[in-house]
Amino acid sequence: MRIDAVLARGTTTSFEFFPPKSDEESAVLTRTLKELEPLRPSFVSVTYRGGPASRQRTFDLVTQIERGGQITAMAHLICVGHTQQEMRTILLNYAEAGVENVMALGGDVSEDPTQRASEFVHALDLVEMIRSTGGFAIGVAAHPQGHPRSPDLASDRRFLAEKLRRADFAVTQFFFGVEEWTRLVDELGALDVTKPVIPGIMPVTTLHGITRMAHMGASVPPALVQRLEAAQLRGGPAQVRSEGIAAAHELCAGLLDVRAPGLHFYTLNRSTATREIFNSLFA
C-alpha cells in the first residue's frame, strides 16, 4: 500500500533498517524482522548508502519484505553518484517488483575522488524525477535542527517546503524534544506546507551514543545528557540504558499527545529497545 494512503488512515508506526553486509548481519536482521512483525508496523524503510553493491542489497531486502505480503516497504534512493538514466532504471525495477514507496534523499557527499559525479544537484531534483514517473508515494527527509549543509534554519525550512510541495510526506532525523517537532511543523505551516511530517525516534542507550548522535547531525540536549550521566553514577550502563528508554518513551508519548502523524523508529537492525518503547506506549 502507498504510505500516503496509510497516513490518511491514522497514526502510523514504522521501523527503519539497513541492508546486511554479511551472513552474521543477515541473521541478526532476520531475527529482528520476526520479532518486530507482531507489532504490525504500518511500514518499514530500508536505507541505501550508494554504490552498486549497496543498491542491490537495498533492492533485495525491500523486495523480499514486499513479497512476504505482511509489511509495506519503502526503499531509500540517493542523488549522490547517480545519472538520471541510471535512476530511471532503478525506479523501473522497483515498479516492476511492486514497490510503491520511495524516500528521496540527497545522500552524503563522498571524499572518494573516483566516485562518479551526480547528475542531480539536490534531493528536490530527484523528487521531481520520481514524480514524473508516476505511481510512487514519495518521502523526503526533514531535519528539526536544520540540515548540516543548510546555511541557516530559515533557508533550511524554505528548501524543505519546496521538497514537500512535490513529495507526499517527510520523515525527520531523530531529535529529543517535542518542541523541536512542533516548531518544524509550525514553520512549514507558515510557508503553506501541511504535508505529514513523521517524527524519527532513536533512544540514547549509552553515553558513547551522545557523541555519535551529535556527529550524525542531532545534538543531545544538555538536560538529557545530565540525566544519563546521573544514571551512570546510580547504576552504570544498565541504568543509562533504562533511562534512555524512559526518555524515548516520554518523547513518543508527548508527540502522540500533540497529534504527530506517526512514529518512525531507527532500529539499527536491533529490536529490543524499539519493542520496549513500543510496548510501553501501546500495550
Decide: 205 and 273 in contact? Cβ < 8 Å. yes
Q: Is 201 helix (H, G, I), strand (E, B) or coil?
A: strand
> 117 falls in which pLDDT band (50, 70, 90)?
low
Residues 6+ apart with CB under 8 A from 34: none
Q: Is the pLDDT of residue 95 over 90?
A: yes
- Provide the 8-state DSSP code for 100: -
Residues 6+ apart with CB under 8 A from 163: 104, 123, 124, 127, 140, 170
The grid coordinates listed for 76 are 531509500
> 107 falls in which pLDDT band (50, 70, 90)?
confident
List 138's β-bridge partners, or say none.
102
> 81 falls in which pLDDT band (50, 70, 90)?
confident
Q: Is the pLDDT of residue 130 over 90?
A: yes
Q: Is the pLDDT of residue 136 over 90?
A: yes
Instruction: Render pLDDT for 18-43 as a digit per residue (tens, 0 to 9).
Output: 998 888 999 999 899 989 989 999 99
Q: Is the pLDDT of residue 114 over 60?
A: no
Q: Is the pLDDT of residue 86 over 70?
A: yes
Residues 180 and 61: their CA atoms lie apart, in Å, by 32
Q: Find the DSSP H helices in 75-221.
A: 84-96, 123-133, 153-166, 178-190, 208-215
pLDDT number for residue 222: 94
CATH topology of domain 3-282: TIM Barrel (3.20.20)
The grid coordinates listed for 99 are 514497490
Which of 74-88, 98-112, 216-230 is the least confident region? 98-112
Residue with cell 497516513: 7
Residues 161 and 204: their CA atoms lie apart, in Å, by 29
- Provide the 8-state DSSP code for 38: G
Q: Is the pLDDT of residue 127 over 80?
A: yes
Q: Is the pLDDT of residue 109 over 90?
A: no
DSSP element (H, E) containing 240 = helix 222-257
Q: Is the pLDDT of residue 253 over 60?
A: yes
Mean pLDDT of the region 92-104: 95
Q: Find the DSSP H helices in 37-122.
A: 52-68, 84-96
Question: Which residues carry out catalysis?
Answer: 16
- First-residue to last-residue Cα distance in the chain: 25
pLDDT number for residue 184: 98
pLDDT number for residue 143: 96
